Amino acid sequence: MKINISPATSNSYPKTGILIKGKSPNIWLPTLQLLNINLIETIIFPVASTKANELYGCFLIVNNISTLVKQLNVSVFQSVHEHIYIPEFSTVSPILSKEDAQKLFKFPHIFQPDFGWVTLNEPIIWENILQIEAPQQIHITKPSKTVFSPQTIKSFQLIADEEIDIIKELELTVKPPKKDILTSFDKVKLSLFKSFFSSKKNNKGGFDIEGKGLLKWLNNSSNNSNGTEPKWKKDFEKLLFRNQKETDKLLSLFKSNPNLALSRALPLDMLGTSRDAGGGVFQIFKTKEGEKESPFSSFVMKLLAYFVKFSILYLIYLLVTGIINSNVSDFFSTLLKLAFILVVTLIILSIIKNLTPNSSSSGGSVNLDSERMQALRKEYEKLAEEAVKNNDYKKAASIYIKLLKNTYQAATLLEEGKFYQEAAIIHLKYNKNKEFAAKAYEKGKFYDKAIDLYKELNQNEKVGDLYSLIDNKSAADKYFQIVINNYLNNSQYVKASLVYKYKVNDSLKAQEPLLKGWREGNDSYNCLTNYFSNFTTEKKLEKGIEAIYRNETNALNIDVFLKSLKHEHTKHKNIQDYTQSIAYEVVANYIKVKPSIAYSLSSFSPQNSLLNKDTSKFVKKEKKKKRNQGL
């Protein structure tokens, strides 16, 4: 019997065979693995090639063909009565019955144009082919968990630093000034200089010194001779500076060396005295405590200066006469006596000065008059302004805190420089103002700190707002509910509704307090107007108006209902026919009880002048009828 295999446009038999081309199992196994074939459960036959001792491939019989065969280099076969396997899109002729196929082919056969008919009688025994080794231990290195990158940022806040460190940054370092007082010898020396020279303060914080009389010419000649100031002039200038009032010293120092002056400056409060000094006394260059020059001491110093002047003139006289008479013994004898008297006098004065009690609270201090206080404040403010120009807001704030004692301005400058945390700490530590501190924290996005302060201040709505900013809705709703309850307890129904609507985002809940206010007659018009505004569509608004009119109106509140209805009539053009019909119905129902209600019709038909005239006539007629009935 001759069997022909010919091409066909479709498959007449089920597809249950797969042919994998390859000379070695090493080629078949990857494909079998991709097809997810179980080597033990699946029957696989080797297929011989037309060449001796060479395989064409392998053929496997399966129940279901995987969709992966289209992507692999394999051939699919049809099963003819489970005995003959022919390529897909082919047919057998003549048509064979199952009995004929079993008689003709005792073993399954496969047909392929490359090699013809091949008997499939010996399946592959994989245990004889594959050498299975013990599984190898594989060490898998897992990458570290990456930082989670959210697709959307719902909230952002900063975590505050330690407050102590920030306060230290704002502290202005002021070095304790050295004691600088004139000794008795210095005072005598200064008095002598003043006898022969005049002095005048200049704009640079120093002194312009000129000699008196003949010494003026000597002073000019000495300066012009070598171009440098003589030592005595420098000494005189130093003594003048040290003898100034303490505030004058500081003001002079601000002109010559602002940074040094700042380090020696002490604070002024807004009353013009230092908070660090006792008894309303301002101290800059401190002296020994309990030491202050008395009027007696000043008189003695002046007298001592005159004594020195007279002694010098007398000694000059003795020296000149001694030279003329060739006898200078009187000169040296007198010189020793005068020196001895001077030394003894200075020792006695020093002892008296140390033993004399002082009524002043602190030595070397002076009362700060308003003029000097204003001058110092001006210098401090000038330094602060320069710091702000240089964007050194912390330095400027330090000056206002430590020197000017204006902590509110210090906090304002810190906020201007975007140092919000520092500003908040200033408000807490110095100003004792938690509300300002909370606002500063809020501006700087330190929401956790701001929330804590707002809780202490019982500003629950702000607490809820900040919880909303950090996406903590449950906590936010909790504090919004506290606000709502407070409004409801105070019969502030509109405010309670607005919190529900805009803070809690619950429009349905927002209607409840409004409806309650309408029923109680508490701010009825605003409650009803807001109630209608919460409807999202005009159809829902119509139903809301209908429900209120049918169920919630009476003779006491019908006028307010018409007023609110007029508002909706003007606001919504598309439902004017409906609101007009409701208005007409209201007037018709209540005109006998309230004739003046007819005037409301003009708001719903402003173009109808005839209606307005008839309304006016009707109301006048009804009033006249009532008057007649009363008579």
The b/e string for 405-420 (b: 16+ C-beta within 10 A; e otherwise) is bbbebbbbbbbebebb
- Closest by CA to 580, choosing from 550, 559, 605, 598, is 605
* 345 band by pLDDT with thresholds 50, 70 and 90: low
Distance CA 262, CA 259 (A): 5
Distance CA 232, CA 186 (A): 13
Strands 109-112 and 15-21, by their bridges, are unpaired
Q: What percentage of the chain has pLDDT greater than the value 90?
A: 33
What single-letter amino acid sits at 48?
A
What single-letter amino acid sits at 367?
N
Two tokens, residue 462: 């702000």
What single-letter amino acid sits at 474?
S
Lowest pLDDT segment from 90-104, 281-295, 299-313: 281-295
* 416 band by pLDDT with thresholds 50, 70 and 90: very high
The b/e string for 475-495 (b: 16+ C-beta within 10 A; e otherwise) is ebbebbbebbebbbeeebbbb
Contact 411, 426 (CB under 8 A): yes
* 432 band by pLDDT with thresholds 50, 70 and 90: very high
Average pLDDT, integer, range 171-187:
54
Q: Is the pLDDT of residue 133 over 80?
A: no
Q: How many residues does the chain have?
A: 631
Higher pLDDT, 627 or 521: 521
The reported pLDDT for the residue numbered 128 is: 85
Give per-residue pLDDT as tens, 361-408. 333 333 445 666 777 778 788 888 988 999 999 888 888 888 888 889
Average pLDDT, integer, range 277-306:
50
Q: Highest mean pLDDT range out of 319-328, 539-548, 616-625?
A: 539-548
- Per-domain residue ranges of the chain: 4-126
The reported pLDDT for the residue numbered 176 is: 46
Higher pLDDT, 422 or 174: 422
Contact 545, 580 (CB under 8 A): no
Task: Identify the helix (H) or strand (E) that includes residue 208.
Answer: strand 207-211
Distance CA 442, CA 319 (A): 86
The b/e string for 591-627 (b: 16+ C-beta within 10 A; e otherwise) is beeebebbebbebbeeeeeeebeebeeebeebeeeee
- How many helices (H) does the chain have, and how many strands (E)? 27, 11
The reported pLDDT for the residue numbered 343 is: 67
The reported pLDDT for the residue numbered 614 is: 64
- Beta-carbon contacts of residue 275 (< 8 Å; ≥ 6 apart): 267, 269, 405
- Closest by CA to 201, choosing from 168, 243, 164, is 243
The reported pLDDT for the residue numbered 467 is: 93
Alpha helices in 22-138, H assignment, sequence order: 25-34, 98-104, 126-129
Contact 244, 238 (CB under 8 A): no
The reported pLDDT for the residue numbered 349 is: 58
Higher pLDDT, 438 or 307: 438
Task: Identify the helix (H) or strand (E) that includes residue 56.
Answer: strand 55-61
In terms of phi and psi (left: phi > 0; alpha: psi -120 to 50; beta: otherwise), the region of 140 is beta
In terms of phi and psi (left: phi > 0; alpha: psi -120 to 50; beta: otherwise), the region of 205 is left
Distance CA 16, CA 80 (A): 10
Give per-residue pLDDT as tens, 83-130. 899 999 999 888 888 888 888 888 889 999 888 889 998 899 988 888
Distance CA 307, CA 336 (A): 15
- Closest by CA to 602, choosing from 610, 590, 594, is 610
Query: How many CB atoms sit inside 10 A of residue 44's CB?
Result: 21
Give the dihedral sign, CA 153/154/159/160: positive
| Terminal Cα-to-Cα distance of the chain (whole angstroms) | 134
The reported pLDDT for the residue numbered 370 is: 65
Contact 251, 376 (CB under 8 A): yes
What single-letter amino acid sits at 313?
L
The reported pLDDT for the residue numbered 355 is: 46
Give the dihedral sign, CA 39/40/44/48: positive
Q: State whether residue 552 is helix, strand or coil.
A: coil
Strands 84-87 and 109-112, by their bridges, are parallel
- C-alpha dist (Å) from residue 186 to 179, 342, 354: 15, 14, 17
Higher pLDDT, 194 or 290: 194
The reported pLDDT for the residue numbered 503 is: 93
- Closest by CA to 261, choosing from 104, 91, 382, 426, is 382
- HSE at residue 414, side-chain half, CA atoms within 13 A, is 32
Average pLDDT, integer, range 533-550:
93
Two tokens, residue 191: 């008095």
Query: How many CB atoms sit inside 10 A of residue 208's CB?
Result: 11
Average pLDDT, integer, range 118-144:
84
The reported pLDDT for the residue numbered 412 is: 93
Distance CA 576, CA 590 (A): 21
Lowest pLDDT segment from 85-89, 212-216, 304-308, 418-422: 212-216
Contact 42, 61 (CB under 8 A): yes
| Mean of all residue pLDDT scores within the chain | 77
How buried is residue 217: exposed, middle or buried, by Cβ count under 10 Å (0-12/13-18/19+)? Answer: exposed
How buried is residue 516: exposed, middle or buried, by Cβ count under 10 Å (0-12/13-18/19+)? Answer: middle
Q: What backbone torsions phi and psi does residue 404 show, to the nearest 5 degrees?
A: -85, -10
- HSE at residue 362, side-chain half, CA atoms within 13 A, is 18
Give per-residue pLDDT as tens, 577-613. 899 888 888 888 887 777 777 767 777 776 666 666 6
- C-alpha dist (Å) from residue 182 to 88, 188, 199, 209, 301: 124, 10, 18, 20, 12
Give per-residue pLDDT as tens, 470-486. 989 999 999 999 999 99
Contact 430, 407 (CB under 8 A): yes
* 47 band by pLDDT with thresholds 50, 70 and 90: very high
